[in-house]
Structure formats: structure tokens, C-alpha cells
Structure 1
Amino acid sequence: MNSPTQPTAPRPRLGFIGAGRLAQTLARAAQQAGWTVSHVASRHAGRAQALADALPGCSAVGMDAVVTYCDLVLLTVSDDAIASVCAALPWRTGQAAVHCSGATEVSALQSAAAAGAAIGGFHPLTVFADPGATLASLPGCTVAIEAQGTLNLTLEQFAQDLRLRPLSLPPGARARYHAAAHYAGAFLNALLGEAARLWASFGASEEQTLAALLPLARSTLNAAQTGGLAESLPGVVSRGDVGTLRKHLDAIDGLPEQDIAALYRVLALRTLRTARGAGRLDATQAAAIEALLLADQQLVQTRSQSIE
């Protein structure tokens, strides 16, 4: 005999303070998932009105009104503004104040907690450069949640309805979590920029670089997803190919931009650590690669000092 279906708790009325790209994406995703986004506010009135117009039954109002009318308020303002915006609002017992920052501690919402509101963090781990594109790719992304009790359950339900993967963060971990995410976000972009600099040295355009290397980057990410970091590790270091590594170093050492060579060595040494830990190299191979990278690193430093 089937057990009776558990009644679904009513979803809280959702409001946004801040109407930038993150809010534009989350508000639309929430509405599509059956949540009621009833009120939005922004210091840019036109932006709030545009978002409200895109959401049936939603009104653009002042910030105080969002807190007055909504049960769950998402603060999607800039990180530096979270504490001051929160402190200026009329919070009450029985509602929740949640910011969407990756690095800001939940304690920035302490003024809301002092007024009796529950507080928390809800940070979707993706890029919000284009709200339309992000909305389509949002399902499957991780969202970092930090909250307690009933609010934690509410945010996990919100994540589930938006088809996000919840990651529970303990207090004090947000800056480390957010810094680590940069290696797969902003720093990945920077690495592609370094590749474009190298290819420009033989006349290739940025467009040509991206057309060639983005499929390679995607295949690397797909391999990591399938086999894990160590097992999928590509490249000359993971193969113990000292001869080809030497060619790489000779080529980039001849460039006038010495920072390219220095960064290559740092990344190669990190790759060596992974390859060694995975047992991809024997002791002799690992020692030879490390000696080559460290010796050349000293050479590059010497050259840089002589140039200065």
C-alpha cells in the first residue's frame, strides 16, 4: 500500500533587492519553477521596472516595500553594499534575508538577524554575463547554501526546484570557496588569454586561438568529469616527456615577456604534483622534470634581474 503523499509546504513570497544580471536570471528561473516573485527593487528604477515587467504579477517598488511584502528576500546587490543595504531595511521576525554573494560571510546580514529575521547565503556557481544564456544553462549548476533550520530547508527546496545542486557551506568558508572557484572561472579566462599571447607571437589572432583551443578546453573538462583530475591529466608533464618539455621552455624563454615563462613553470610544477600523486610518473621521471623546471626558473629570475 502506498503511503499518503506528504503535503507540500507553501512557497514563500519571493522578493529581490537588486535587479542586475544575477537577479534577472534567478527571478526568471524562480518564476519558471513555480515560485511567486512578487516584488523587486533597485537603486536603478528603470532596471527594476524592466525586471518586474518580465515577471507576471510582479511589482517594482522601493526597497522597504520588498521587505514589507515578501517572506524571503534575496539581496542581489554588490558585495560591498550588502551590509549597509541590509542595515537600512525594516526586517521582522518570521521572514528571511538571504544574500547571493560568494565571498561575503552571512554575518554581513546581522542587522536583519537582530530584528528577528532568519539569515543565509545562496550563491549559484556560474557566470552571469548573459542572463538569457545563463538561464538556459542554470540547471545542473552548483549553488552554495549557508543557513540554519527552516531557512536551510527552504533554500534547499528552492535549489531543487531550480534544478541546482546544493553545496552546504560552513561558517567562515565562503572566501576560500569563492577563491577556489576562480580557478575554473576568471583564471581559466586568464589562461586562455596567455595562450592567445603566445599564438599572437606567430601571427594568430584571438579569434583563431579561441576557435582552436576552446574545443580542447572542453574536451579536457569532459575528461576530468568522467575520469577525475588525476586519471584524466593530459600534457607532457603527465607523460614524463622531458624532451618536449625542454622544447617548450626553450621556445618561451626566447620571448621578451618573461612572465609567460614564469607562469608556465608554476603551472607545470602544479601539474607535476598531481601526476606524481597519481602514480603517473616514476621517481626518476619526476625528479628530472622537477630539476628542469626549478633550474630554468632560477635562470628566468636571473634574466629578469639583469633586464631590470
Structure 2
Amino acid sequence: MDEPHELRAAARTLPEPQDLRVGFIGAGRLARALSLALQVAGVPVVRVASRSQASARALADALPDCRVGTLQAVARDCDLVFLTSPDALIAEIACAVPWRMGQSVVHCSGATPVAALQPAAAAGAWIGGFHPLQAFGADPRAALASLPGCTVAIEAEPPLDDLLHALTRRLGCVGLTLPPGARARYHASGGYASQHIHVLLAEAVRLWQSWGATEQQALDALLPLLRGTLESLAHSGVAAGMPGPVSRGDAGTVRLHRQALQAVDPDMRDLYDRLCRRGVDLARQAGRLDAAGAVGVEQVLDASPEPGAP
């Protein structure tokens, strides 16, 4: 074991959350929300650095004891540094900053491996990942309000993992210990509950627009449906609460859907087919679709698409 790691291993304790001096490298939406939340929780944020001086100044001005500085100043003055920069810059920043023995360096990327921070570890710092599973908007106060209750994925070795879990509890969030090698899968899972929902709703909006309706009209009708779906998911789980023609083996309705979608856009119909096939498996898993019903739906999906009125 090299000397920095031996010295770091000898110091098995880190400051308590309220005794930390926290800094941020990167001043975007997540940094603004997280820094405000830490301040409210009694954890002082004292330094921020960013490529955008305007963003850094906006973050610092919202906090009583925070000052804008260089990367080097953040590393010098802070016990815990959050890297909230774009993912592509994390490894570059880790190489460029003069880290010091015993401090903690944590990135907030969902997918980037913690190993991207290896230069900090080589200097004797503790390294880890801290990713709130939440989408943050442009309004920092609204983003702050959305943070409590969300899950934070934590990947670190002791004692840093204990510190990050303690911070998570102070923020009113739920800590998730993420094993090494699972970050990309974990982050991709979030895409299905966030990014891909936008894609699916965009497809639905296109269908409304095909008869002259507006996006707002579509959203006014579809968002209450989505909210009801989320309530059903919360109470019944993923498989048992799934609605729709596939779940009840209604092959005739699936056929009509395919005809209509084929007329609007064959690629849209292809996506529908793929989702329906996954839906058959899900309905079978829940015991809501018997073998005969599954075969009926699959036969419709296997058939060549028929032309229909848009």
C-alpha cells in the first residue's frame, strides 16, 4: 500500500456534518439546490468554483458564508468537496486540483464511476459518489423543495460512507448504498421514470396533434391520467396495477391501435409493438393475462401492420 493510502487509513474519522466546511466545484441546478439544502440543515457551504462566474456568484450570494474562488481555493479551504460539474469534466477536474490528505471528494454524477476521482484518492483523499435521484428545475427554491424524500445513491468506503449517509438523513432524504459497478444501471433506471416519460408523452402529443389538437390540450387530458397511473403504481406495484388492453388480453383493441399508429408513423407503431410485448410479459407475471390471452395479443403483434385511418 502506498504512503498516502496508509496515512489515510490511519485517520478513520471525519468531521461531523455540522463541523464540515463544504465546497462545490460546479454551480448548476443540482449545486444550487444541494447547497441551499445543506445550509438549511446546518452544514455550512463556504466555497464555490465554476467555469461560469455568474453561476458561482449566484450560488454564493444565496448563502451567508460562501465565497467564490478558484478550484485550488475550494480544495484548500474545504473538508468535503462536491463535484457538480458536467460528467465529462469530472476526471479532468480530479486531475487538475491539488487535493490534500484526509479531505473528502465526492462527485454527484449518476453514471460516472467513482474511479474517475482516483487522482484525489492518490493524494490521500476519501472519494465517493453522491447522487440525488431527482430532477431539478431552474428555480433553486422549487428544486430545494423537491429534495426531501428523494433517494440519494451513495458509493464510498468507510468512514466517508457513514458521513454521506448522515448528510442524507439531515437533508431528509433516503440513503441507498450502491455497490461498485452498478452506477450506470442505476442511472439508466432513473431514465425510465423521468427522461423516457417525456419521450412517451411526446408520442402521445403527436397523436393529438394529428387531428388538430394542441400540445396543451393533450397535456391537460393526459396528465390527470398519468397522475392516476402513479397513484396506482404506488398502491399496487408495477405489474398488478398495469391497465390497458394488453393486460386484459384485448387483441382487437391492440389491432386497432396498430392500424392507427401505422397510418401516422410506422416508427411510432414499431415502438408501440415493442412496449406491448414487454407488457404481455408484465401482465403474465401479475397473473392478469392467461396463456390464451397472451397468444392472442402476440399473434396481432406478429402480423404485418395493416393500413388504417390516422
Secondary structure at the counterpart of residue 303 of structure 2 = helix
Q: Map 1:134-173 onto structure 2 (within 5 A).
A: 134-173=143-182
1:254 to partner: Cα distance:
2.2
Find the aligned partners of 1:217 and 1:201 in 2 and give their Cα distance.
21
CA distance in 1: counterparts of 2:22 and 2:61, whole angstroms: 16
The partner residue of 1:284 within 288, 292, 302 is 292
Match of 2:61 among 53, 60, 71: 53
Name the CA distance, whole Å, in 2 between partners of 1:212 and 1:280: 27
Distance 1:294 1:95 in 2: 59
Match of 1:306 in 2: none
Give the alignment partner of residue 229 of structure 1, picking from 226, 238, 248. 238
Aligned counterparts, 1:228-267, within 5 A: 228-255=237-264, 257-267=265-275
Q: Give the alignment of 1:107-186 within 5 angstroms.
A: 107-130=115-138, 131-186=140-195
Aligned to 2:3: none
1:206 alignment partner in structure 2: 215
- The equivalent position to 2:73 in structure 1, one of 65, 74, 79, is 65
Deviations 1:177-232 (A, max 9, x none): 11121111111000000001111111110011111111111111111111101111
Cα RMSD for the two superposed structures: 1.4
Partners in 2 of 1:71 and 1:133 — Cα distance? 28
AA aligned to 1:205 is T
Cα distance in structure 2, aligned partners of 1:13 and 1:128: 24
CA deviation after TM superposition for structure 1 residue 253, in Å? 2.1
Name the structure 2 match of 1:218: 227
Contact 2:23/2:46 (8 A) holds in 1: yes
CA distance in 1, matches of 2:146, 2:108: 18
Corresponding residue pairs, total: 291
Please say if 1:272 is aligned against 2:280. yes
Shift of 1:285: 0.5
TM-score norm. by structure 2 comes to: 0.91
Q: Which amino acid aligns with 1:289?
A: V
Distance 1:61 1:245, change over 3 A: same
Cα displacement (A) at 1:250: 2.0
Cα distance, 1:134 vs structure 2 = 1.8
Aligned pair partner of 1:88 in 76, 84, 96: 96
Where does residue 20 of structure 2 map in the other structure?
12
Aligned mates of 1:47, 1:10 — CA distance in 2: 25
Greater mean alpha carbon deviation, residues 195-204 or residues 287-296: 287-296
User: Take 1:149 and 1:195, find their aligned partners in 2: how far apart are those partners?
Assistant: 47
Higher RCO (CA 8 Å, separation ≥ 6 residues): 2
Is the Cα–Cα contact under 8 Å of residues 203 and 268 in structure 2 kept in the other structure? Answer: yes
* Post-superposition CA distance 1:125-149 (Å, at most 9, x none): 1112223322111111111110010
Structure 1: which 4+ aligned runs deviate by more than 4 Å?
Answer: none
For the 8 Å contact 2:17–2:43, the answer to whether it is kept is no
Structure 1: state its 5+ residue gaps: 1-7, 304-308
TM-score (norm 1): 0.91
Q: 1:260 Cα deviation (Å)?
A: 0.9
- What corresponds to 2:301 in structure 1? 293
The more displaced of 106-115 and 180-189 is 180-189
The DSSP-based 3-state class of the residue aligned with 1:55 is: coil
Task: Quote the offset at 1:10 in angstroms.
Answer: 4.6
Distance 1:164 1:222 in 2: 21
* Cα distance in 2 for residues equivalent to 1:185 and 1:10: 33
